[in-house]
């Protein structure tokens, strides 16, 4: 900590819970946030009431204000002793979380296939303009199936995918001819987007629903455990 009751942003109405903190290293950050290692930022939280100037700690924080500097809200804190090997522990926790998330997607999938996208077109081969900002603007991806790992694939497999980049759909895979990998498909999905835009048919709406072929052995292992 560099200064008590201080801020790097004029927007902040400074209180006793605010401090200027020098950042030695950023261990994790969203892709949209620049690496602010080596800079001073504002940190608001309970720790600012008790930490002395010059003390070092590891903080987990949420973004708060962005400008010519950055203001964060403290979520958790570890002191120097507790934070040893923190980066390794964070990485291990992320790996465990990724495995658990993939297990959930495999379990929820009605159909798991290995294949390649042969062609894509607007749903029904007729492009219709969006009727609202949340309209997914459904397109169709037609797959050549190499193997079926779960379920029973129809003779010609069509996946519906949202071409929209709206907040409901921006993370969902957008398919193009030639895309190849493992597809974890749900039928008549009920998990994403306003109800009026949900469709009947196979979809892959989570980023983990389309995996590279290199993950096939891992997915097969997860399928075997769930049988």
Predicted confidence (pLDDT) per residue in 102-127, tens digit: 999 999 999 999 999 999 999 988 88
Strands (E), the chain: 3-4, 18-22, 40-44, 57-66, 70-79, 111-122, 138-150, 157-162, 180-187, 202-203, 210-211
> Which pTM was predicted?
0.68
**pLDDT for residue 95:** 84
**pLDDT for residue 84:** 67
**pLDDT for residue 179:** 98
What CA–CA distance (Å, rounded) separates 59 from 55?
12
b/e map 157-169, b = 16+ CB within 10 Å: bebbbbbbebebb
**pLDDT for residue 85:** 74
**pLDDT for residue 119:** 97
Residue ranges in the chain modelled with pLDDT below 70? 80-84
Contact 27, 90 (CB under 8 A): yes
Q: Which domains does the chain have, with CATH numbers?
A: 3-84 (no CATH), 101-226 (2.40.50.120)
């Amino acid at each position: 900590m560099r200064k008590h009751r201080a801020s790097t942003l004029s927007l902040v109405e400074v209180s006793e819970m605010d401090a200027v903190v020098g950042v030695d290293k950023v261990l994790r950050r969203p892709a949209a946030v620049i690496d602010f290692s080596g800079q001073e930022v504002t940190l608001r939280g309970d720790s600012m009431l008790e930490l002395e100037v010059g003390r070092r700690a590891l903080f987990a924080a949420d973004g708060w204000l962005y400008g010519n500097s950055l203001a964060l809200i403290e979520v958790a804190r570890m002191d120097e002793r507790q934070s040893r090997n923190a980066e390794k522990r964070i990485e291990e926790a992320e790996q465990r979380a990724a495995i658990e998330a993939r297990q959930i997607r495999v379990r929820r999938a009605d159909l798991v296939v290995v294949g390649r996208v042969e062609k894509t077109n607007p749903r029904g081969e007729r492009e219709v303009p969006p009727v609202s900002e949340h309209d997914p603007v459904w397109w169709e991806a037609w797959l050549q199936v190499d193997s079926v790992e779960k379920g029973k694939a129809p003779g010609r497999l069509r996946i519906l995918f949202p071409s929209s980049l709206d907040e409901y759909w921006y993370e969902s895979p957008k398919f193009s001819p030639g895309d190849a990998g493992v597809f974890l498909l749900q039928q008549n999905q009920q998990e994403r987007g306003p109800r009026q835009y949900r469709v009947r048919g196979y979809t892959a709406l989570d980023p983990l629903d389309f995996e590279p072929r290199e993950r096939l052995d891992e997915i097969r292992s997860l399928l075997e455990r769930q049988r």
